Structure 1
Amino acid sequence: MLAVENLVAGYQGSRVLHGISFAVGAGEVVTLLGRNGMGKTTTVRAIMGLVPPTAGRIAFAGADVTGLPPHRIASRGIGLVPEGRQVFPTLTVEENLVATAANRAGGAPRWTLPEVLALFPRLAERRRAPGARLSGGEQQMLAIGRALMTNPRLLILDEATEGLAPIIRAEIWAVLARLRAEGQAILLIDKNLAALTRLADRHVVIEKGRVVWTGTSEALSAAPEVRDTYLHV
């Protein structure tokens, strides 16, 4: 579904990514792992067209999307839950969700307003509240729900549970497990290795803008040297 090949990108002449390559198949959950500042968010931003690649290729659903503007990439069926959530602060929960509604996967839409509110009961309770009045965890739920309202073929989450209370994290991991069970393709960034190894099919470890290791959850669990070298602070 998503294929990233030899991706090079950066900011204002400073190179951050040095030939990143990986793929996400249909119905697959793949993680991007690495310490802070290693290029994970830049990779996501390059995939979404928010950072223009200087070399390499990005293909989605068999089509080359390298260098396309963000709205055209998103319209092909990629839903992004960005770092920092970025909900619309003055719109209500319901307005935030309706604002992004689309059917980018084709066919009958899986995710409608009632479905998303059922997935996140906390949002149903706060549906009339403006985004700015939600807690951090509620805002993250809203950001995920907003991305689902586009009915994406691929869902990308950058720092899925960072900084959230344990009970909220557990709710979000449960939602992601349900999405996986339903066949939703997911590309995921987070630091909770225990949760990630339970959820994901494969992991891609990035160090200083390069892929240094890839493998299954079983392989990662059996590779303490990878965790100690590339993932621990």
Structure 2
Amino acid sequence: MLSVRGLQAAYGASQVLFDVSLAVEAGQVVTLLGRNGMGKTTTIRAIMGLTPAIGGDIAFEGAAVVGASPDAMARRGIGLVPEGRQVFPTLTVRENLVATAANRLNRRDPWTLARVYALFPRLEERHAQFARTLSGGEQQMLAVGRALMTNPRLLILDEATEGLAPVIRAEIWRCLALLKQEGQAILIVDKNLSVLKRLADRHVVIEKGRTVWSGDSGDLERDAELVRRYVGV
């Protein structure tokens, strides 16, 4: 589904990514791990076309997409839950959900308001509230729901549970587990290894803009000390 090979990216004259490779197959959950500042968010931004790639290859559903614009990537079927949530603060919960809603892939059972509200009942309770009045956890639920309303082939979450209260983190993980059961392909950036080991099929670790380790959850258990050294948790 998604294939990234030898990805390089820079902000102006400052190169941040030097050799990042990862892959997400249909129905897989894959994690992108590493300490802060190692290039995880830049990798996601480069995949989405938000930060230009200066080298390497990105393919989605077999098509080369290096240089594609963010809106083109969304139309191809990638839904992004960005770092910091970035919900539309002056729109209501309902307006946030429908603002970018689409079923371009003609899914037989598309994500609708009713399905998102069933996944996150708090959003239905607050459907008329402005997004800026929600708690951080509720905004994260809204960001996930908004991405699902685009009916993506691949869902990407950057810092899925960072800064959230434990009860909200548990709710996000519960919902991601349900999405996996439904066959949703997911790429996750997060630091909660104990949960990620149970949820994800494969893990990729980057260090200073390079992929330095990859494997499944069994490999993660066997190489726990090595991975912990790179991830710093």
Q: Say yes or no: does 1:58 pair with 2:63.
A: no
Q: Which ranges in structure 1 are unaligned for 5 or more consecutive residues? A: none
- Write the distance in 1 (CA, Å) between the matches of 2:137 and 2:146: 14
Indicate the residue corresponding to 2:115 in structure 1.
Answer: 115
Could you tell me whether the CA contact under 8 Å between 1:103 and 1:109 is conserved in 2? no
- Write the distance in 1 (CA, Å) between the matches of 2:22 and 2:204: 7
The one-letter code matched in structure 2 to 1:185 is A
The one-letter code matched in structure 1 to 2:210 is R
Could you tell me whether the CA contact under 8 Å between 1:109 and 1:151 is conserved in 2? no
The one-letter code matched in structure 1 to 2:64 is D
Deviation of 1:69 (Å): 1.0
TM-score, with structure 1 as normaliser: 0.98
Q: Which ranges in structure 2 are unaligned for 5 or more consecutive residues? A: none
- Write the distance in 2 (CA, Å) between the matches of 1:17 and 1:105: 32
Deviation of 1:108 (Å): 2.3
Deviation of 1:94 (Å): 0.3
- Write the distance in 2 (CA, Å) between the matches of 1:176 and 1:226: 27
Q: Say yes or no: does 1:18 pair with 2:29.
A: no
TM-score, with structure 2 as normaliser: 0.98
Indicate the residue corresponding to 1:192 in structure 2.
Answer: 192
Give the paired residue count: 233
- Write the distance in 2 (CA, Å) between the matches of 1:184 and 1:227: 26
SS of the residue 2:53 aligns to:
coil
Deviation of 1:74 (Å): 1.0
Q: Say yes or no: does 1:30 pair with 2:27.
A: no
Could you tell me whether the CA contact under 8 Å between 2:77 and 2:151 is conserved in 1? yes
- Write the distance in 2 (CA, Å) between the matches of 1:138 and 1:51: 28
Indicate the residue corresponding to 2:7 in structure 1.
Answer: 7
Deviations, residues 141-170 of structure 1 (Å, cap 9, x unaligned): 000000000000000000000000000000
The one-letter code matched in structure 1 to 2:77 is G
Deviations, residues 105-152 of structure 1 (Å, cap 9, x unaligned): 323242001110111000010000000000000000000000000000
Q: Which runs of 4+ in 1 moved over 6 A?
A: none
- Write the distance in 1 (CA, Å) between the matches of 2:67 and 2:154: 18
- Write the distance in 2 (CA, Å) between the matches of 1:107 and 1:167: 32
- Write the distance in 1 (CA, Å) between the matches of 2:127 and 2:24: 33
* Mapping for residues 44-55 of structure 1, pairs under 5 Å: 44-55=44-55
RMSD (Å) for aligned C-alpha atoms = 0.9
- Write the distance in 2 (CA, Å) between the matches of 1:141 and 1:228: 28
Could you tell me whether the CA contact under 8 Å between 2:107 and 2:151 is conserved in 1? no
Deviation of 1:97 (Å): 0.1
Indicate the residue corresponding to 1:228 in structure 2.
Answer: 228
The one-letter code matched in structure 2 to 1:191 is K
